[in-house]
Structure 1
Amino acid sequence: MTDAAFAAPLDTLAMDGPELASLIAAKLCHDFISPSGAIMSGLDLLADPTAQDMREDAIGLITDSARKMVALVQFCRVAFGAATTAERFTGDELKGLVDGVIAGGRATLDWRLDVADFGKPQARALVNLAYLTAAALPMGGEAVVSARVQGDRMVLEGRAEGARARLKQEASTGLAGRRLTEGLAGQWVQPYWLWLTVDQTGGRLDVEAVEGRVVLTASMPS
């Protein structure tokens, strides 16, 4: 499955729950297909009597891909779902979820969390914001993710700086809370979900995207 498979224009659609859910489900299928397909390729190699000299490679492929799949599932339970029965999450738990899904990528995150724990809406916002901050560095680099409390508000910030730091147009549209009129829905739905998560708490999401710098700032009730 590719982004093109779920790239239908959304300008004529009311963004109600079922339609948004279908777009999120399509994104999850797109994200899961790569590691699950790699696991199947590794199993096929193990079962091939003519490829026994590649047994160690096959086991390595299966192991790495299974870890990636588990990391994606754990991340998505918090980023898109109701997560677990836990009502609150520590910063270390959320850091581990994001680091697990971006491991092996070109970008890294420097975490500066001055908050002890997070409720579900704040946790959902933080992991999505951190993931999108890393995605704003397609050519690599280090981004900074921070969280702090200011009065009765929690401020989450992701700052990506580098020669190629950028937001795709679909991401910019989603982060502004606008429905997609053109482009790929797979690139739009997670940014829109972040905006919706922040907006539904009575919070505000601000975006700065200039050449070489992308800053995402969410201010939410703490």
Structure 2
Amino acid sequence: MTDDLTIDVNAELSGADLAAFIAAKLCHDFVSPAGAINSGLDLLNDPSAADMRDDALGLITQSASKLLSLVYFCRVAFGAATTSERFTGDELKGLVAGMIEGGRATMDWRVSETDFDKPSARALLNLAYLTAGALPSGGEAVITSRRDGDTLILTGLAEGARARLKPEAITGLSGERLKEGLAGQWIQPYWLWLTAHEAGGSLSVIAEEGRVALVARMPA
């Protein structure tokens, strides 16, 4: 499976196209933990690997937890496949924490809001995850929220020695169609931009050496 797809920049992105790119990304993300679970089961069923039973169980447990975190995160971050119309800040924090657990980035959650509608919850999840993802070598992702009149301002600040955004991510966060590069690196940033704009809000990005800032402004 690859995500090295290119998009015709001159063509309109249809709902079917958008769904296809998101589905491809989700399948790509799910393959690793699902494959690890299968490998662990193979070890358990191999009579010659009896001495690796504890390792196999550990691999299955860790991978199943990661897969479950992915499912819980994605059903809110990418869709509306949930009966909840509103989410608490603690619920959203837990979803992001499950995604970045085991990574090099740490998260400082300073979200003051306690209640989010679906568009704002979707924006916050994607913004927080992309902020942490901008720290491949480690660093701190500070996630904040505040109200300014009728606007909810969500901010993700990534600071670290190698804090950066890939070119495809910058393209997506700017709301631009991908001309070249990896669609898998583009679709989630573009989805965040689309989420903010379809809700009547906006998204801005600052990317400089050692520092990345994402700011989503959503109707409160």
Shorter-chain-normalised TM-score: which range?
A: over 0.9
Matched, 1:196 2:194: yes
- Paired residue secondary structure (2:107): strand
Identity of paired residues, percent? 68
Q: 1:2 matched to which residue of 2? A: 2
CA distance in 1, matches of 2:131, 2:95: 14
Q: Which moved more, 1:81-90 or 1:164-173?
A: 81-90
Structure 2 unaligned spans of 5+? none
Q: Partner amino acid for 2:28?
A: H
Amino acid of the structure 1 residue aligned with 2:206: E
**Where in structure 1 are there 5+ consecutive unaligned residues?**
none
What is aligned with 2:11? 13
CA distance in 1, matches of 2:145, 2:85: 18
Which letter does structure 1 place at the counterpart of 2:3?
A: D
Secondary structure of 1:3's aligned partner? coil
Equivalent in the alignment of 2:176? 178
Note the alpha carbon deviations across 1:75-108, whole angstroms, 9 max, x for none.
0000001041111000000000011011001111
Query: How far is the alpha carbon of 1:12 from its aligned partner?
Result: 4.1
Flag as ranges the 4+ runs of structure 1 deviating above 3 A: none
Aligned equivalents of 1:135 and 1:13: distance in 2? 29
* Alpha-carbon distance between aligned partners in 2 of 1:56 and 1:189, rounded to the nearest angstrom: 38
Q: Deviation of residue 128 (structure 1)? A: 0.1
Q: 1:34 to 1:11 in 2, by over 3 A?
A: same
Deviation for aligned residue 1:194:
0.1
The match for 1:46 is 44
Counterpart secondary structure, 2:116: strand
Residue equivalent to 2:136? 138
**Contact 1:9 1:183 survives alignment (8 Å):** no
CA contact (8 A) 2:139 2:161 kept: no
Compare 13-22 and 43-52 and name the one that shifted more: 13-22
> Residue type of the partner of 2:187?
V
Map 1:34-73; keep pairs closer than 5 Å: 34-73=32-71
How far, CA to CA, are the matches of 2:74 and 2:162 in structure 1? 27
2:213 alignment partner AA: V
> Which amino acid is 1:157 matched to?
T
Write the letter of the residue equivalent to 1:211: E
So what's the TM-score if we normalise by structure 1? 0.97
- Are 1:78 and 2:93 counterparts? no
Partner of residue 28, structure 2: 30
Q: Which residue of 2 aligns with 1:208?
A: 206
Q: Matched residues in 2 for 1:111 and 1:141: separation?
A: 14
Retained in 1: the 8 A contact 2:123–2:195?
yes
Q: How many residues align?
A: 220
Determine the C-alpha separation between the residues in 2 that align with 1:12 and 1:208: 26
The alpha carbon displacement at 1:42 in A equals: 0.1
1:138-177, CA deviations, whole angstroms, 9 ceiling, x for partnerless residues?
Answer: 1011110001111111000000011201110000000000
How large is the Cα RMSD of the aligned pairs? 0.8
Structure 1 counterpart SS, 2:218? strand
**Conserved? CA contact 2:6–2:178, under 8 Å:** no
Q: How far apart, in 2, do the equivalents of 1:12 and 1:57 lie?
A: 51
The within-5 A match list for 1:149-168 is 149-168=147-166
3-state SS of paired residue (2:7): coil
- 1:2 is aligned with what amino acid? T
Alignment partner for residue 116 of structure 1, among 114, 126, 138? 114
What is the Cα deviation at residue 10 of structure 1? 3.5
Amino acid at match of 2:201: G
Q: How far apart, CA to CA, are the structure 1 residues paired with 2:24 and 2:138?
A: 27
